[in-house]
Chains A and B, each alone.
Chain A
Amino acid sequence: MTDSTLDRVARATPPRVARRIRGLSDRAIAWIFVAPTIILLLAVNIFPLIWTIYLSFTNYRANRPNAEVEWVGLRNYQRILSDPEIWQTMQATAHFLFWTLFFQVLIGFALAWLINQKFRGNNLWTTIIVLPMMLSPAVVGNFWTFLYQPQIGIFNNIISFFSGADPTSFSMIGDVRLAPWSIVIVDTWMWTPFVMLICLAGLRSIPDSIYEAAECDRASKWRQFWTITVPMVLPFLMLAVLFRGIENFKMFDLVVQLTGGGPGSTTELTSINLKREAFEKWRTGYASAYAVILFVTVFGLASIYVKALNRVKNR
């Protein structure tokens, strides 16, 4: 079949075009294929990044275009790193990042494993479970403020139905102890399906023959799970964590709509804090330094992580 298609293609390709394309060396094709991507990324990501790095050493304010721009050296960086409130937002981000990844990996993997038991209708239910991640995070955040309202929302009413507690006796967004969990719950609700999908892809990629071989060796199901399933899915899981981790480190839309960073600064994630500096206080230089610090942090963490990932993949 492949041959007949190719024959047809060969016949259909005008000789001149064929010659011209054939004339391209492998190296030329490689560069032609890669160049648009690299150029676009350089233009839309790297150029602004360089601009941001430059601004981070100045006192530039985007709301004072007429004011003189002064070179302030490392002052912006010093101010940020010595500001206790920024550490507080880092802490809030770390809490959010850790627990969302924890729950999403745990539930996502468990769901993928269960779906992979191939019960009847599993495809339909997979599609249903994936629905929340197709919603817009801003709309989701906005709507959950409504669901979390103790009087008119359903979240508290459902909890109270199962626990017997008065629905108005607690407030997910208003309580400093519950608010950090309120954002974890919504993000987990929304993005567990993403982790699940990738885990499921991993599970489906394991050839049956490996289990059959293990079965012949009389390995127990439990042992098979730990020696075959988990290691084979691990690279997938790690990639899911990498992408979720990057997304949640820069999480903005969902949380800003949900809590606005409150109560106080309990759920003020770094991106929300950064937005206040950049677009409300208009301290562009300062915000740029802040952005560079964040970028370096994620970049550093991610590069260590990707090294580990490559090791797991090539094991």
Chain B
Amino acid sequence: MKTKARLFAATALVGLSSLASTGAYAANLTLCWAAWDPANALIELSRDFEEQSGHSMSFEFVPWPNFADRMLNELNSRGQLCDLMIGDSQWIGLAAESGHYIQLNDFFDAEGISMDAFIPATVEGYAAWPKGSTNYWALPAFADVVGWTYRRDWFAREDLQAEFRELHGRDLDVPADLQELKEIAEFFQGREIDGRTVYGAALFTERGSEGITMGVTNVLYNFGFRYGTADNPYQLEGTVNSPGAVEGLEFYRALYECCTPPGSSDWYMSETIDAYRSGQVALQMNFAFIWPGVDQDANVGGDRSGYFTNPPGPDGHFAQLGGQGISVVSYSQNQDAALEYIKWFAQPEIQQRWWELGGFSALNDVVQADGFVDSQPFAQTFLDSMEIVQDFWAEPTYAELLLAMQNRVHRYVIAGEGTAQEALDALVRDWTEIFEDDGKM
């Protein structure tokens, strides 16, 4: 239990020396994350840590499509590149069971960092393994969730309002459920606005990494798809391919066919935002991290855009969880300094500043503070969305589970192969095989 010993030493060290002092040594810490907008903000934020601690920070940001391959390769080969890892939420099972991350419970206790101070869904999603336990392997770093953006300026048009009211007997407004969302998307599809043909909604449909899964689950969950049952998490038959789930998958395909721009067959975060910014669509599905960018955009920013949480369906109200926690890599030579960083990062002032720089803090002190909901136009939607999150599998075999789902869903929804029932039945078979190979079933 060398790790434990080191951990103890680390906590002792951090405990003794105040953060303001330079400490006994200056380490060069490398933090690994995905290459995206929030990562740039983190560099800015970390300057304060460098000043206070005397350690220097390097950053290794890998583009999203290669993020998992590259970083899991690094962890699996016990690489020492990364001292701190902001790894994707679904890696936690693998990282915990293979010993890639160090367990943080003792450190949290010693430093008085309480997981109760964070949004519960983020603790469950980013930090705990096994799920539901209090074994923590990360500190929630970046809260993220799928939600919707809509063209407020189009919704506000008198002529469109009148026509919509005529058609559906209600105001053209934020949809109350998925069915209404589809009606709105249908209403805009093919419509001429300002001399250009516009379309209903931009959806996640990407094939290569995780795109379509991160999109379709928002519908599946709300139609009754479940990952197992409460007493048996591996009960796939009847939960994954339940009648509700089948209906949900059919709904997603119908939505793709009726209401998306032509050519949107391989879209993820970046393509959907392009479609929205260029004025092609009325509604956009995307992770919350893009909202600050939407708000500032020259074409669609400010009052022209609004935000709403993923609408409920006939059997539930969920939204797909994104986001990451920050962990200390157990192969790092600088674990002490890495823990110092986490301690620094967990401070309420730093978390507050993180939110101001565009980082979605998961700290209750920040998100429940007075004035938080008014600090950004999307703040309330973000809070509401975080209440209803549901994550994909975080099992050690998550990557295989994900690939199977990508394959089955993309074939049905985009390539139009077979029926929804067949696709989900096949998914149950694939998943069963994976869990059997892993000894979980």
Contact = CB atoms under 8 A, between A and B. Distances in A.
A287 B411 CA distance: 23
A66 B197 contact: no
B51 interface: no
Interface string B397-417: 001101100010011001111
Contact of A266 (B262, B280, B415): B415
B77 A62 contact: yes
B263 A64 contact: no
Interface string B58-102: 000000000011001100111000000000000000100011000
A219 B278 CA distance: 62
Interface stretch (A26-34, A126-134, A185-193, A277-285): A277-285
B68 to A, nearest CB: 7
A271 interface: no
Interface in A29-77: 62-66
A245 interface: no
Contact of A263 (B76, B209, B261, B410): B410
Contact of A173 (B266, B396, B411): B266
A262 B263 contact: no
Contact of B206 (A63, A169, A260, A266): A260
Interface stretch (A90-98, A148-156, A195-203, A292-300): A148-156
Contacts of B265: 171, 173-175, 262-263
Given A152-B278, A261-B207, A174 B414 contact: yes
The residue in A148, A152, A256 that gathers the most chain B C-beta atoms within 10 A of its C-beta is A152
Contacts of A173: 263, 265-266
B278 A151 contact: yes
A120 B374 CA distance: 69
B293 interface: no
A281 B414 contact: no
A175 B262 CA distance: 10
B106 interface: no
A260 B263 contact: no
B415 A263 contact: yes
A176 interface: yes
Given A266-B415, A282-B72, A174 B264 contact: yes
Contacts of B266: 145, 173-174, 259-260, 262-263
A262 B416 contact: no
12 contacts: A63-B94, A150-B263, A151-B263, A168-B263, A260-B206, A262-B207, A263-B410, A264-B407, A265-B411, A281-B403, A282-B72, A282-B399
Interface of A: 62-66, 145, 148-153, 156, 168-176, 256, 259-266, 276, 279-283
Q: What are the 4 A-B residue pairs with the smallest beta carbon separation, nearest first?
A: A260-B208, A174-B265, A264-B415, A262-B207
Given A175-B265, A280-B68, 9 more contacts: A151-B280, A152-B274, A168-B263, A171-B263, A171-B265, A173-B265, A174-B262, A264-B411, A280-B400
